[in-house]
Amino acid sequence: MKFNRVLVFAFMAASFSLTSCQNEEEVTSSSEISEQTINAIKTMGFSTQNVQRAEGGYLVEGDIILKESDLRDAGKVQALRVGEAEQYRTTNLVTGLPRVITVSVDPKLPASYVAAVDEALARYNAEGIQLTFQRVTSGASINLVAAPKNAQYLASAGFPTSAGQPHNEVKIATRHIGTNPNRSWLATILAHEIGHCIGFRHTDYMDRSYSCGGGYTNEGASTVGAIQVPGTPASADPNSWMLACIGSGQNRPFNTNDKTALGYLY
C-alpha cells in the first residue's frame, strides 16, 4: 500500500491511502463539523477537504492538528500571497535561540523506533542550525507517542505556539508503520513531523496532488499561516522532506532547498 504523507510525508504530512501526518482519535466526516469551524480553517490557509475531528482539535491536510485556540486566532494572522511549490513556514516559529529541543520516545512504541528517531534528530543536528535536538527519557519538548488504534494516518503533529514553543507531540500509527519498519523511511516521517512542530508546512502546499496523487488541490487565493521561505524555488521540488505524502519505504533526507529553508529560519 502506498502512503501519501511524509508527514504527510505521512498524510503530513503527506499521505496517500493514509496520511503521514495525522493524529486523529475519532474520525468524523467534514459534514459533522460546523460551518464556522470550516471557515476558520480556510481563513488560516488550510485545505478544508476531509477535515476530521481529532483529539485536541481538528485534523487537516492529513497530518496537521489545529487546536480550538488556533481557530480562535484565525482572524489575527496576516494575509499572504499565494505561491507554487516553495518551502513554507507558519506564522509562529520556535523562539529563544539558540536552543536545545528535547525529544522523548514513549516506551509503548516499538523499541526498533528509537534508531529511526536518532537518525531523524541527527539529520537536523548535522545542519548546524540554532536548534539542537537531543533524545531524553522524560520531560521532553516534543513527545513521540502511539496514535489511537483507529488512526487513519501514519503520523501527525501540530505547529509552534504563539509563545514560541514547539508543538509538544507527534503521534505515530504503529499499525500502519509496523513494528520493524525501514529505518530511513521512518526517520523521514519523523523528521517531517518534527518539521511541523518547529513551524514548517508542506512544500506542495499549493497543490498536494503533486506528492499525494489524485486531483489538483489548491487551497485558495487568500491564505494565512503559509509564508514562503526566501531563497527557496518557485518551481516544483520533488524531493523535499516536507512534501505532503510519501511512498512506503521512501527516504527523503534534506535536499539543497530544505537546507536553505532550515538555515534561513534557524
User: Has residue 21 got a pLDDT over 60?
Assistant: no
DSSP character at residue 216: -
The pLDDT score that the predictor gives to residue 20 is: 43
Tell me the pLDDT band of 11, cut-offs 50, 70 and 90. very low
5 occurs within a structural domain: no
214 occurs within a structural domain: yes
Per the prediction, the chain carries an average pLDDT of: 78
User: Has residue 142 got a pLDDT over 50?
Assistant: yes
243 occurs within a structural domain: yes
pLDDT digits (tens, 9 = 90+) for 94-138: 999 999 999 999 999 999 999 999 999 999 999 999 999 999 999
* Number of domains present in the structure of the chain: 1
The pLDDT score that the predictor gives to residue 86 is: 55
4 occurs within a structural domain: no
pLDDT digits (tens, 9 = 90+) for 246-264: 888 999 999 998 998 899 8
The pLDDT score that the predictor gives to residue 70 is: 73
pTM, to two decimals: 0.74
pLDDT digits (tens, 9 = 90+) for 181-232: 999 999 999 999 999 999 988 887 777 677 777 665 544 333 335 667 777 7
The pLDDT score that the predictor gives to residue 66 is: 81
Report the relative pairing of strands 88-89 and 131-136 from DSSP bridges: unpaired
7 occurs within a structural domain: no
Tell me the pLDDT band of 173, cut-offs 50, 70 and 90. very high
179-204 core/surface letters (b: 16 or more CB in 10 A; e: else): eebebbbbbbbbbbbbbbbbbbbbbb
Expressed as residue numbers, the domain containing 136 is: 30-265
17 occurs within a structural domain: no
16 occurs within a structural domain: no
209 occurs within a structural domain: yes
* Contacts (Cβ under 8 Å, ≥6 apart) of 54: 22, 23, 24, 25, 26, 65, 156
CATH number at residue 243: 3.40.390.10
